[in-house]
């Protein structure tokens, strides 16, 4: 094995010497180093690709024996997050960095510095990618373990870690490329930090916000958003370093500081537009004094309403069977009874379920809220199947127009605030 490695090394050295002689003859005077760098980089890249492919095949073959995520969650997480690919890249490039000087014996020495720094820069970038994939690996691991609280924690800190990582690896990359000591850059940055913060506060905050928005993918140009703090609702027109412009639905344009996207509550309503649904959440207040038990005559009259006929038949049958076992069943208060407010609630539920303009795959609910001084609120909760503002308002108005008038059939009174005389 050692003899084969020596033979390969000798072959590469002989090839590089021949290329050095050939390039020196054909290249213009003074530009030999450029041609040498191109040839060296091409040869090293070819060797790197071969080594990288070999290491990937070996690693992937080994990881096939650990495919069971229940038995080997750590190994499975490492494989899914592709940390193994980064390891293969790193090892292959490290080998290139250790052998390139011995391969190109006799070539121009000043090209060696360029290649050495290029290799080191590549190692730094691969290491940065490996650490970034490690976050994904942790996320995969806790997902396999179904520890979703830790998944949320990782999601919360990952953006900060990414920004900090970009800053640190940018400094390291500059040091590697220009051969500068890291302490020199850090010291210089420390001396001007106070001035930068005071002068470029909004710019720095806008830059950080821009990175956060781009990496988190929580907002983008064109999204329909609402900002309760400023009473703004519209589509994002532009996000730049200092200001974010929003086109309101009244055709006006609002501008807010970009860093407010991090510190202010923002409702992203784009999902409603993409799913073409929009939530209806609105209540009707009923006078409690109008609530009552329904007698037989009233129930028979309400059975003429198609939407609740089956419901009333089933309920009256159940109640009658129960009353046979109850003493003093002539008293309406004894045992279960149908009430006008309860039957109306069921009617409203059925009405929504049969409305073709209500999204059937989304929740549909009619519920009672806590009693207030204005009466008992009955809330309608559902989703219209059209998110356009004009159509949505029409659908919502049609529903409540019908329910407000239909409540009279159940002898229910709607609460309203009287105007002063």
CB-CB contact of 179 with 131 (8 Å): no
pTM of the full structure: 0.49
Could you give the 3-state DSSP secondary structure of residue 332? Answer: coil
Q: Which residue has the tokens 């905050």?
A: 205
More confident residue, 219 or 29: 219
The pLDDT of 336-360, averaged and rounded, is 93
Q: What is the DSSP letter of 66?
A: G
Instruction: Produce one character per residue of 269-303: b if its CB has 16 or more CB atoms within 10 Å, e if not.
Output: bbebeeeebbbbeebbbbeeebbeebeeebbeebe
Q: Which residue has the tokens 């949505």?
A: 392
The separation between CA 263 and the C-alpha centre of its own chain, rounded to angstroms, equals 18
Q: Which H helix or E strand runs over 218?
A: none
Pick from 95, 186, 82: nearest CA to 129: 82
Task: Convert the pLDDT of each residue in 391-406 to its tens digit.
Answer: 889 999 999 999 999 9
**CA dihedral sign of residues 33, 38, 43, 44:** positive
Q: Rounded distance, CA 413 to CA 341, Å?
A: 10
Backbone angles phi, psi at 175, to 5 degrees: -60, -40
Task: Convert the pLDDT of each residue in 57-90 to its tens digit.
Answer: 888 788 777 777 777 777 788 778 888 888 888 8
């Amino acid at each position: 094995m050692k003899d084969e490695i020596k033979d390969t090394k000798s072959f590469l050295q002989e090839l590089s010497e021949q290329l050095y002689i050939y390039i020196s003859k054909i290249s213009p005077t003074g530009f030999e180093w450029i041609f040498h760098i191109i040839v060296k980089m091409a040869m090293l890249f070819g060797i790197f690709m071969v080594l990288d492919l070999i290491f990937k095949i070996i690693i992937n073959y080994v990881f096939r024996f650990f495919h069971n995520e229940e038995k080997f969650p750590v190994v499975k997480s490492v494989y899914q997050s592709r940390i193994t690919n980064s390891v293969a890249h790193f090892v292959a490039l490290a080998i290139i960095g250790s052998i390139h000087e011995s391969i190109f014996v006799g070539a121009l020495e000043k090209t060696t510095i360029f290649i050495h720094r290029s290799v080191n820069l590549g190692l730094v970038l691969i290491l940065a990618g490996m650490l970034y994939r490690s976050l994904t690996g942790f996320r995969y691991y806790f997902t396999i373990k179904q520890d979703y609280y830790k998944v949320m924690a990782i999601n919360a800190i990952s953006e900060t870690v990414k920004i900090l990582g970009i800053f640190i690896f940018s400094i390291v990359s500059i040091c590697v490329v220009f051969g500068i000591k890291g302490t020199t850059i850090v010291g210089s940055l420390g001396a001007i930090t106070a001035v930068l913060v005071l002068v470029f506060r909004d710019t720095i905050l806008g830059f950080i916000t821009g990175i956060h928005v781009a990496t988190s993918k929580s907002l983008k140009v064109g999204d329909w958003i609402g900002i309760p703090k400023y009473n703004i609702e519209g589509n994002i027109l532009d996000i730049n370093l200092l200001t974010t412009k929003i086109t309101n639905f009244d055709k006006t344009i609002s501008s807010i500081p970009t860093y407010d996207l991090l510190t202010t509550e923002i409702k992203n309503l784009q999902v409603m537009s993409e799913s073409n649904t929009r939530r209806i959440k609105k209540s009707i207040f009923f006078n409690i004094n109008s609530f009552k038990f329904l007698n037989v005559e009233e129930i028979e009259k309400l059975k003429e309403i198609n939407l609740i006929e089956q419901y009333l038949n089933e309920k009256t049958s159940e109640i009658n069977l129960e009353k046979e076992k109850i003493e003093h069943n002539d008293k309406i208060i004894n045992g279960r009874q149908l009430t006008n407010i309860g039957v109306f609630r069921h009617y409203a539920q059925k009405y929504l379920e049969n409305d073709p303009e209500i999204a059937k795959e989304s929740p549909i609910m009619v519920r009672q809220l806590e009693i207030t001084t204005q009466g008992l609120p009955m809330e309608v909760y559902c989703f219209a199947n059209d998110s356009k503002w004009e159509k949505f308002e029409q659908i919502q108005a049609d529903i409540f127009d019908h329910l407000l008038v239909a409540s009279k059939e159940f002898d229910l009174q709607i609460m309203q605030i009287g105007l002063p005389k």
